[in-house]
Amino acid sequence: MKHQIIVAGKPSLKYAKDGVAEYKKRLTRYGSYDLKHVKDGSSIDVSKRLLDGSQNAIRVVMDERGEQLTTQQLFNKINQWEMRGEKRATYLIGASDGHTQDLRDRADLVWALSPLTLQHELALVVLLEQLYRIATMQRGEPYHR
Ligand SMILES: C[S@@+](CC[C@H](N)C(=O)[O-])C[C@H]1O[C@@H](n2cnc3c(N)ncnc32)[C@H](O)[C@@H]1O
C-alpha cells in the first residue's frame, strides 16, 4: 500500500524540516511514502484541497479531536487495510484553523496523536516517526520496543 501525507502550507521551521528529512530518508527503504504540500488558506479551502487529494484512498484525518491509538493499534489498522487490498492511504494535516467537520465526517479514521494541539509541522514529524516505526514492525526489525 502507498502512503501519502498531504499537508497544508510549506514547511518553515528548521527543526521540523530536519525531522521530516530524517524520517523521509529512513522510509525510502520501506516502500512508497510521499509527502505533498497543498496551498494554505481558510479551513474551508484547505479541507476542500485535502478532500480532493484523498479521493479513492483511505482517508486518515489528523485531528486532536480524534481517536487516540497505540502504535500497535495503528499497526493493526494498516495491516487490515493492506490485507483487504487498499492501494493508498492518505494522512491529512490541516492549517492553523484545523479541518472542517465535513472533512472529519468523510474520514475512514480521525486520528489524534495526542489531546494536545500541536503545531502542524510538529504533528507531521510525529506522524512520520510513527509510520517509520510501523514500517520497521512490519519487517520484524527491533526499532519498536
Ligand atoms: C495548529 S493545528 C489546528 C488547530 C485548530 N485550532 C483545530 O481546532 O484543529 C494544525 C493541524 O495540525 C494537526 N494536529 C495538531 N494537533 C494534532 C494532534 N494532537 N493530533 C493529530 N493532528 C494534530 C491537525 O492536522 C491540525 O489540523
| Residue 71 contacts residue 144 (beta carbons within 8 Å) | yes
Question: How far is it, in rounded angstroms, from Cα 89 to Cα 141?
Answer: 22
Question: How far is it, in rounded angstroms, from Cα 33 to Cα 5?
Answer: 8
Query: For residue 84, is it left (φ>0), alpha (ψ between -120 and 50) or beta?
Result: alpha
Output 144 or 91, whichever has higher pLDDT.
Answer: 91
Residues lining ligand 1, judged by CB closer than 6 Å? Answer: 62-64, 93-94, 96-99, 112-114, 116-120, 123
Å from CA of 143 to ligand 1 middle: 27
Q: Whose CA is nearest to atom 7 of ligand 1?
A: 98
Quick: pLDDT tens for 12-32. 999 999 999 999 999 999 999
Model confidence at 134: pLDDT above 90:
yes
Confidence of residue 10 (pLDDT cuts 50, 70, 90): confident
Å from CA of 100 to ligand 1 middle: 12
Confidence of residue 11 (pLDDT cuts 50, 70, 90): confident
Nearest 5 degrees, angle CA 124-CA 76-CA 5? 25
Model confidence at 128: pLDDT above 90:
yes
Question: How far is it, in rounded angstroms, from Cα 10 to Cα 2?
Answer: 22
Confidence of residue 36 (pLDDT cuts 50, 70, 90): very high
Task: Kindly state the average pLDDT of the residues 49-75.
Answer: 98
Task: Kindly state the average pLDDT of the residues 105-112.
Answer: 98
Annotated binding residues for S-adenosyl-L-methionine, written as ranges, equal 94, 113-118
ipTM of the complex: 0.99
- The preferred substitution site among 38, 45, 62 for testing ligand 1, maximizing ligand atoms within 8 Å of CB, is 62
Question: How far is it, in rounded angstroms, from Cα 132 to Cα 30?
Answer: 8
Task: Kindly state the average pLDDT of the residues 54-60.
Answer: 98
| Domains of the chain, start order | 2-138 (3.40.1280.10)
Å from CA of 113 to ligand 1 middle: 9
Mean pLDDT in the chain?
Answer: 97
Q: Indicate which atom in ligand 1 lies nearest the CA of residue 94.
A: 27
